[in-house]
Amino acid sequence: MTDKTLQLIGELMSAVPPAGSFATRWTGAAENLAIEVDGVGPIGLPVPPAQARQLCEVARPARYGRREQTLLDANVRNTWQVPLDRVTIDERWRQTLLPVLDTVRAELGLAPDCEFSAELHSMLVYEPGQFFRRHQDSEKAEGMIGTLVVTLPSEFTGGELVIEQQGTQVTDQGAPEELSFVAFYSDCEHEVLPVTEGFRITLTYNLVARGRTGPDAAAFATHPSTALLAEQLRTHFTTPLEALTRSTGRPPATHLPRQLVYLLDHQYSQQGFGWDQLKGVDAARTALMLAAADSAGYDVSLALAEAMDSYDEDYTSYMLIYRERWERVEDGWKCLESSEVEFDDDGEMVEPEHTDPEDIPVRSSLPLPPGSDDLGDLRWSYITLTWLIDRAGSAGEPEVANIWDEELCTGESNSALEPYASEIEGYMGNEGNTASFWYRRAAIVVRPRR
């Protein structure tokens, strides 16, 4: 059975130990960090509350980017940002930061010979009541793969930095007497909870990795799982699909699977995706698949994919027709399209008023996210390939974009992923309301050689 084969492939892939973690944290001494801020003077460590208030006075509200625009919304990001042209850090800090980068590189599972650096991006101050809602970091520089947050020693409560990947969390609360270091991949969802007392002060760095190599298939050539995975790949590609009705538009039983699509854990942009740009466990699992596919005689490509889940939704009024389209911006959610159709006292339909999307504020969370009590049964789910990179590195749109259910190996559930867009649509009649959510995924694609 194809379902059993896909399950076994998923189990073999999931058993691959990751080379590193999606996030890492530790503390260290602060004696080599000397910071001076124009208008405040040398910063004491631990930072005294009076000096933290001075930092707020020379700072400005932190903004975020959306495409070509720079926006400000305190409902999404409420913190102070000290202009970098006011900040001077003594060169002795590099003596501490360089070994820190070696630790980060190892614990994130990056190759020891890659060129790894940290570029100062911002100095932030959170006073009581300030926060940063759940979001992902954008790729602010070529080769950026993650973020390093250095929290200066100070007395504060609340303000925890919470990082999540596939349902696993790493939390950091800083330290009153030491520096606190947290590094994580940029696609990880994270947030800063509201500060309740004191001041949380951080330096944030863009982590940039260049000169990386692709996954090492040779390392898995003699691995016990390689032969087992190769056997399951052969079974997958030689097992005919079950008979399906013509009305579904699906292939007849005499067709064999055209491909195997295995979904990876991390998310990537098109610019930040490639054989030499895989993150954490994705690199190790890809290496195993390459070794098994080589043994079995199949081709392997990397791909970006888009998934859509559509649910029954019981939130809206029965007599309301409406449609909303929400999409993720860098630090929140924006309603890009909203329309309603209502009825007047005489039962006549009222034409919808079209709202300029630029006038609708960014929200911090999706309406009716997956798992909400207002969502009913899953109506349908599909996934399509949008971008393909072959073994030689040639990239472009795939010749075969659609994926049959019998060709898809999901590995870890996508329930822990945040959707990048949603559409909620109401109807009159028996069909009911629907809520649809879109996710971006990366995948390994295995196909028979031509």
Residues 138, 65: contact at Cβ < 8 Å?
yes
**E strand or H helix at 6:** helix 2-14
Weakest mean pLDDT among 13-17, 270-274, 343-347: 343-347
Contact in structure between 433 and 426 (CB atoms under 8 Å): yes
**Residue 255 pLDDT > 60:** yes
Radius of gyration of the chain (CA): 25
Distance CA 78, CA 417 (A): 24
- pLDDT at site 416: 46
Residue (of 284, 277, 230, 266) closest to 395 by Cα position: 277
Q: E strands of 211-279, at which residues?
A: 260-263
Q: How far apart are CA 81 and CA 349, in angstroms?
A: 49
pLDDT (0 to 100) of residue 420? 59
> CA 157 to CA 61: how far, in whole Å?
21
Q: For 359-408, how does the pLDDT look when each residue is reduced to its tens digit (9 = 90+)?
A: 333 333 334 444 444 556 666 677 899 999 999 999 999 988 999 888 99
Please tell me the distance from the alpha carbon of residue 203 to that of residue 269, in angstroms, as a whole number.
25
Give me the residues paired with residue 437 across strands: 309, 422
pLDDT at 99 over 50: yes
Looking at residue 382, what is its pLDDT? 75
Question: In angstroms, rounded to a whole number, what is the distance separating the alpha carbons of residues 343 and 396?
Answer: 48
pLDDT surpassing 50 at residue 78: yes
- By the 8 A CB rule, do 310 and 423 touch? no
Q: By CB neighbour count within 10 A (0-12 exposed, 13-18 middle, 19+ buried), where does 339 fall?
A: middle
Overall average pLDDT of the 412-418 stretch: 49
Q: What is the pLDDT of residue 141?
A: 81
Q: Is the pLDDT of residue 60 over 50?
A: yes
| pLDDT value of residue 254 | 67
| 294 torsion bin: left (phi>0), alpha (psi -120 to 50), beta (else) | alpha
Percent of the chain with pLDDT over 90: 53
- Per-residue pLDDT averaged across 14-18, rounded? 87
Residue 184 has pLDDT above 90, yes or no: yes
Provide the edge-to-edge strand list for the sheet that holds 189-192: 77-78, 131-135, 189-192, 161-165, 168-172
Which SS3 state, helix, strand or coil, does residue 202 take?
strand
Give the separation between CA 308 and CA 430, rounded to whole angstroms.
23
- The pair of structure tokens assigned to 97 is 């930061």
Task: Read off the pLDDT of each residue in 422-437 and give the average, rounded to a whole number.
Answer: 55
pLDDT score, position 335? 54
Question: pLDDT tens digits for 193-236?
Answer: 999 999 999 999 999 999 888 888 998 988 999 999 999 999 99
Say what the pLDDT of residue 400 is: 87
Domains and CATH numbers, the chain: 31-210 (2.60.120.620), 213-311+373-448 (no CATH)
Pick from 328, 329, 349: nearest CA to 340: 349
Distances (CA, A) of 20 to 31, 103, 351, 441: 29, 11, 56, 20
Task: Read off the pTM.
Answer: 0.78
Crossing angle of helices 281-296 and 224-238, rounded to 10°: 60
Confidence of residue 358 (pLDDT cuts 50, 70, 90): very low
Of 204, 205, 166, 401, the residue nearest 303 (C-alpha): 401
pLDDT at 12 exceeding the cut of 90? yes
Q: Is the pLDDT of residue 53 over 70?
A: yes
pLDDT at 440 over 90: no
Give me the amino acid identity at 69. Answer: Q
Q: pLDDT value at position 107? A: 94
From the list 139, 135, 138, the residue with the least C-alpha distance to 162 is: 135
Coil vs helix vs strand at 31: coil
According to the model, what pLDDT value does residue 346 have?
56
CA distance linking residue 108 with residue 125, whole number of Å: 27
How far, in Å, CA of 384 to CA of 402, rounded?
5
CA distance 82 to 421: 32
The C-alpha angle 58, 60, 61, rounded to 5 degrees, equals 150
pLDDT confidence of residue 344: 53
Considering only 1-5, 58-62, 176-180, 256-260, which range has the smallest mean pLDDT?
1-5
pLDDT of residue 370: 41
